[in-house]
């Protein structure tokens, strides 16, 4: 038997929860007036090397790279930002009058990581990217958007961690301070840290092996290396967040695992302990030089991505189980004549929006009744010779057990009215309140 690949999984029983999250994504996008963008699942490898960064774990150890049959070096996207920026430049979206331009995306990403709870090799991200403004209000807008998304999903056990890396000058100041601090400890740090010391010292703070090493524990804070202007930017961000009652923790060790960040970086951690060690639900921040570094005009930008699987694990721990919308009608037929007529009747009803199932196996009447129970249809419609002659269906209300004869042309309206009534009756019932 051919089995699924390590680190992948099938979504079958969990689709209602997925759909609830997807619905929330599109509702949130409307609230913030975000435009949807869909980019390819694979891109030229160089795109990720030049954006995410050569020395990051993602590019160094985790990408799915291959040559296609035309000899092109290709990578399955490990994240969404690089592709969106490539598309922004290639499609000259910067030339549009609207500013800032705000996009969102949802889809699969691929990283060759060691699978564990909350970490898979194919996973889904929902992300937003805002281009065109360096104002602190954008940093706030992305954090507020991420927080609102969690609130919409009724997730309240989370903590917002933020930090600032500053602009080019501040980052250089920090790299210098960090190198001075790390230099005396180099001999006791791992080979990766030693290589990164020369090439990209900030990445030393990401080291998984030496995370408890004194040199890393006592490393200087990026905030202390900020220029006056960058410090003010960060203070404004915090001030506006406070005015919005968005609690946040300044996390001095937060630098993020991708190279393109500048100024504000943030992560939202689950505090419900539903995720074990993979507790970061969302990560993001500013990346003011990435558009320019990839060949576009200088364009400040900021964004975030949520890991959808981690959200689903959290929702599962909260016992959030959205119900599938019930089937409206199971149409069963008695006798050969009715059997031949039922598909056409079902077809007409579906055209009128009635969700309908019929017997596709050739079952007898008893077995059809049994099936109708398995489908949990709200109504059962019985079509026999007598009904055909009169042009009606015997419609059985499965909630009350009552039966009535309804003319073919009135079935859709009758069902629609009863379902409307169900909703009215249910407005105050606990299931509906908890939706």
Residues interacting with ligand HAM, by CB under 6 A?
79-81, 111, 113, 118-120, 123, 125, 127, 129, 257-258, 280-285, 303-305, 307, 309-310
In angstroms, what is the minimal distance from the CB of 235 to ligand HAM?
22
Answer whether 153's CB lies under 8 Å from 316's CB: no
305/333 with CB nearer ligand HAM: 305
Measured from the CB atom, the residue of 127 and 201 that comes closer to ligand HAM is 127
User: What size, in residues, is the chain?
Assistant: 435
Of 259 and 359, the one with the shorter C-beta distance to ligand HAM is 259
Nearer to ligand HAM, 210 or 279 (CB): 279
CB of 381 to ligand HAM, least distance (A): 45
Q: What are phi and psi of 51, to 5 degrees?
A: -110, -65
132: left (phi over 0), alpha (psi -120 to 50) or beta: left
- Residue 205 or 258 having the CB closest to ligand HAM: 258
Starting from the edge strand earliest in sequence, which strands make up the sheet with 101-110, in order?
35-36, 101-110, 122-131, 301-307, 280-286, 262-270, 158-164, 249-250
Instruction: Report in angstroms how near the CB of residue 34 gets to ligand HAM at its nearest.
Output: 13
Q: In the complex with ligand HAM, which residue's Cβ is closer, 26 or 117?
A: 117
Token pair for 259: 């190279």
Q: Find the shortest distance in angstroms from Cβ 109 to ligand HAM.
A: 7
SS3 98: coil
**Helices 308-317 and 15-31, packing angle to 10 deg:** 110
Smallest gap from Cβ 90 to ligand HAM, in A, equals 18
Give the pair of three-digit tokens for residue 3: 């089995």
> Which residue's CB comes closest to ligand HAM?
307
Contacting residues for 106 by C-beta, under 8 A, at least 6 apart: 22, 25, 124, 125, 126, 127, 308
Q: How far is the CB of 29 from ligand HAM (least distance, A)?
A: 15
């Amino acid at each position: 038997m051919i089995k699924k690949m390590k680190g992948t999984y099938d979504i079958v029983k969990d689709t209602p929860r997925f759909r609830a999250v997807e619905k929330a994504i599109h509702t949130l996008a409307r609230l913030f007036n975000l435009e949807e963008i869909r980019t390819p699942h694979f891109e030229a490898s160089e795109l990720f090397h030049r954006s995410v960064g050569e020395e990051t774990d993602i590019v160094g150890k985790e990408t799915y790279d291959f040559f296609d049959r035309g000899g092109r070096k290709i990578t399955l996207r490990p994240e969404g930002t690089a592709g969106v920026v490539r598309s922004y430049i290639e499609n000259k979206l910067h030339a549009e009058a609207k500013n800032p331009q705000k996009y969102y995306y949802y889809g699969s990403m691929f990283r060759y990581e060691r699978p564990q709870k909350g970490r898979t090799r194919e996973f889904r991200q929902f992300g937003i990217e805002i281009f065109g403004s360096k104002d602190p209000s954008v940093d706030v807008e992305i954090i507020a958007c991420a927080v609102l998304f969690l609130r919409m999903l009724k997730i309240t056990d989370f903590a917002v961690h933020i930090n600032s890396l500053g602009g080019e000058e501040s980052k250089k100041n920090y790299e210098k301070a960090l190198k001075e601090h790390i230099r005396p400890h180099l001999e006791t740090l791992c080979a990766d840290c030693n290589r990164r010391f020369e090439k990209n010292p900030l990445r030393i703070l990401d080291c998984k092996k030496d995370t408890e090493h004194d040199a890393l524990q006592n490393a200087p804070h990026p905030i202390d290396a900020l220029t006056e202007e960058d410090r003010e930017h960060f203070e404004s961000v915090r001030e506006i967040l406070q005015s919005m009652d968005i609690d946040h923790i300044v996390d001095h060790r937060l630098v993020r695992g991708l190279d393109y960040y500048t100024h504000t970086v943030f992560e939202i951690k689950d505090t419900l302990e539903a995720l074990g060690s993979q507790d970061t639900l969302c990560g993001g921040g500013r990346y003011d030089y990435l558009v320019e570094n990839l060949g576009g005009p200088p364009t400040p930008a900021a964004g975030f991505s949520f890991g959808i699987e981690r959200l689903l694990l959290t929702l599962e721990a909260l016992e959030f189980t959205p119900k599938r919308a019930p089937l409206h009608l199971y149409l069963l037929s008695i006798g050969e004549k009715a059997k031949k007529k039922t598909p056409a009747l079902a077809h007409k009803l579906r055209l009128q929006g009635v969700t309908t199932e019929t017997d596709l196996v050739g079952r007898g009447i008893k077995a059809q009744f049994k099936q109708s129970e398995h489908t949990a249809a709200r109504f059962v419609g019985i079509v026999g010779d007598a009904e055909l002659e009169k042009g009606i269906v015997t419609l059985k209300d499965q909630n009350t057990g009552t039966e009535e004869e309804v003319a073919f042309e009135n079935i859709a309206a009758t069902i629609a009215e009863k379902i409307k009534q169900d909703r009215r009756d249910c407005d105050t019932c606990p299931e509906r309140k908890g939706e």
